[in-house]
Structures are given as structure tokens and as C-alpha cells.
């Protein structure tokens, strides 16, 4: 089995101790740090944004994977790059001019990702697939951590895998929402390259470092 990249989500971290949280992930099995930005419009919740990313960046050792759950993301791309984003993912559902947004992200020197909600068909990515560095398949409806994994995601990951092959794209497939030991293996087998995990990693009694190591071991 290929080893996927592991991307713990800060949404589930102790937000009153972001320096300590970022530093303890520095020596963990985390490959990327997943940063969820919510605007209270695209999704029914508000999380954190640019100043918090700047603060995390000062202590981060891994690339920061910014997931923009916001409307009109085109207005904030340069600001997120400047604040420390290494990859920027926008939602298909938030971008009527998706091709332009993807080119803008790449021109900023960031990895360009597109996320699709659980009810958005994979086939809608057909004409943008070749331009992408990352496809994020949402396995919950975005807006909150700690939700249950939607099983239909496994089928969608396989569909993205064949769509990317057909398009000759080497984009990575990322899965986000309700990821745990219970579904990580099948997700990787279906084609997932990056696993985001929030609650599973941060709410475990043994803590995020041990839980990430356990996930890494489980997938070896
Ligand atoms: C959901 C966010 C996710 C979330 C995942 O809207 O995009 O990244 O933090 O959290 P868990 O793993 O708890 O579902
Ligand atoms: Zn996310």
C-alpha cells in the first residue's frame, strides 16, 4: 500500500495554544498542516483566517494546506499566499470562473486545489482536471469538524482517480471529513494521496502525535 500524506486539521486543535499545537506537530508524522477557513456564508460557520495563519506560520515546520470554505476566494488568494499558504484549495461550488481562479493560485506559486462537496458530481471536474495539483473530496458537508464520514466518498475517490488518469493529470487526491482508522485503509486503496483528520487526531486521549504515528503505522 502507498503511504499517504497525513494532514491534521487545526480546526480540532487547542486554539488557545496554537504555538504549542504547531510545535508538537513539528516532530510528528504530519506531512502537511491543514488550515480550514470558513466565512459564515459559503458554510454555516466561521473559523479563523489570515492573522491566525500568519501566527501559525511562525512555528510551522510542515507545508500549510489552506482549505478556503469561502465565497469569492479570488479576492483573498494573494493574502493567503503572503500569510504562509503552500497550497490553496477553493470550492468548485464557490467559483463560477474556476479556471481563472486556479491559474491565479498557480501564478502565486502555490499548489492549486479544488474541493467538491459530497453532492457535487466528480464528472464536473473533467475540464479542469489537467490544470490541478490537488483534488479535495469532501467526505462530510463542510462547516464543522467531528461529523460522520459519508461512505459514498469511497466511490467518488475511485472516480476522481480514473478522471485524473484520463486527463493525464498527476494531481493528488485529498479526502477531508470524518477520516479515522476505520476508513483510512479503504480510502488509500481507492486512490487517496492525502488524508485530512481533525477530531480523530486531536480528540484522542493519547494525543495527536501518538495518534498520527498510529495512523501512519496502520497504513504501512
Ligand atoms: C470540515 C473541514 C475539515 C474538518 C475535518 O468542514 O473542512 O477539514 O476540520 O475534521 P474531522 O476530521 O473532525 O471531520
Ligand atoms: Zn478542511
DSSP for 139-155, please give it: SS-TT-SSPPP-TTHHH
ipTM above 0.90, yes or no: yes
DSSP string, 96-146: TTHHHHHHHHHHTTSEEEEEE-TTS-GGGGTTTGGG-SEEEEESS-TT-SS
Going through the chain in order, the beta strands assigned E by DSSP cover 5-8, 33-38, 64-69, 87-91, 111-116, 134-138, 172-176, 194-197
Pocket test for ligand 1, best of 9, 46, 93 (most atoms within 8 A of CB): 9
Q: Is 170 a residue of the active site?
A: no
Residue 87 — φ and ψ, nearest 5°?
-125, 145
Query: Active-site residue among 65, 86, 133, 176?
Result: 176
Query: Which residues surround ligand 1 with Cβ inside 6 Å?
Result: 9, 11-12, 34, 36, 67, 140, 142-147, 176-179, 196-200
In tens digits, the chain (220 residues) has pLDDT values of 889 999 999 999 999 999 999 999 999 999 999 999 999 999 999 999 999 999 999 999 999 999 999 999 999 999 999 999 999 999 999 999 999 999 999 999 999 999 999 999 999 999 999 999 999 999 999 999 999 999 999 999 999 999 999 999 999 999 999 999 999 999 999 999 999 999 999 999 999 999 999 999 999 9
List domains and CATH numbers for the chain: 5-218 (3.20.20.70)
In three-state secondary structure terms, 188 is helix
- CA–CA separation, 141 and 32 (whole Å): 22
**For residue 176, what pLDDT is reported?**
98
Say how many Å lie between the CA of residue 1 and the centre of ligand 2: 24
Q: Is 27 a residue of the active site?
A: no
Amino acid at each position: 500500500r502507498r503511504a499517504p500524506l497525513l494532514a491534521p486539521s487545526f480546526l480540532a486543535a487547542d486554539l488557545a495554544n496554537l504555538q504549542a499545537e504547531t510545535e508538537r506537530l513539528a516532530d510528528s508524522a504530519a506531512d502537511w498542516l491543514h488550515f480550514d477557513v470558513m466565512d459564515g456564508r459559503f458554510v454555516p460557520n466561521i473559523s479563523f483566517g489570515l492573522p491566525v495563519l500568519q501566527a501559525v506560520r511562525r512555528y510551522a515546520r510542515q507545508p500549510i494546506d489552506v482549505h478556503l470554505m469561502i465565497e469569492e476566494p479570488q479576492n483573498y488568494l494573494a493574502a493567503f499566499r503572503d500569510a504562509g499558504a503552500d497550497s490553496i484549495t477553493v470550492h468548485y461550488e464557490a467559483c463560477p470562473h474556476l479556471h481563472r481562479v486556479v491559474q491565479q493560485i498557480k501564478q502565486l506559486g502555490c499548489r492549486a486545489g479544488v474541493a467538491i462537496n459530497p453532492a457535487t458530481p466528480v464528472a464536473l471536474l473533467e475540464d479542469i482536471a489537467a490544470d490541478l495539483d490537488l483534488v479535495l473530496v469532501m467526505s462530510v458537508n463542510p462547516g464543522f469538524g467531528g461529523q460522520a464520514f459519508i461512505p459514498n466518498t469511497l466511490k467518488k475517490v475511485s472516480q476522481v482517480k480514473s478522471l485524473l488518469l484520463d486527463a493525464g493529470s498527476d494531481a493528488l487526491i485529498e479526502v477531508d471529513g470524518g477520516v479515522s482508522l476505520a476508513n483510512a485503509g479503504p480510502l488509500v486503496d481507492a486512490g487517496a494521496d492525502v488524508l485530512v483528520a481533525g477530531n480523530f487526531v486531536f480528540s484522542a486521549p493519547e494525543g495527536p502525535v501518538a495518534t498520527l504515528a498510529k495512523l501512519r503505522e496502520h497504513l504501512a
